Amino acid sequence: MKNRVFRSLMGGLALLSLAVCLIMGVLIFLGRVSDATYKKAFLAASAGWFVFSIARGKRDKGPSAGESGA
C-alpha cells in the first residue's frame, strides 16, 4: 500500500511539472511572462519532471525468486 501511495504521489507531481512546462510555453507565446521568468520556471519544472518520473519508476528490489542465501 505504501509503495502505491508513493508511486501515485510521484506520478501526480511529474504530471504537474509537465503541465507547468506546457503552460509556461503558452504564457511566453502570449507575452504574459518575461524571458527570465520563463527560463527559470521551465528549468525548475523540467528538473522536477525528470526527478519525479524517475522516482515513480524506481522499484524496491528484494531478493529474486531464483537467488538463494546459500
pLDDT along the chain (70 residues), means of 10: 86 95 96 96 96 85 54
> Length of the chain, please?
70
The stretches of 31-58 forming alpha helices (DSSP H) are 35-57
Domain ranges of the chain: 2-57
Query: What is residue 2's predicted lDDT score, i.e. its pLDDT?
Result: 77
pLDDT of residue 19: 97
User: Own/partner pairs for 41-45, CB < 8 Å, 24+ apart?
Assistant: 44/20, 45/17, 45/18, 45/20, 45/21
Report the pLDDT value the prediction gives residue 36, as an integer from 0 to 100: 97
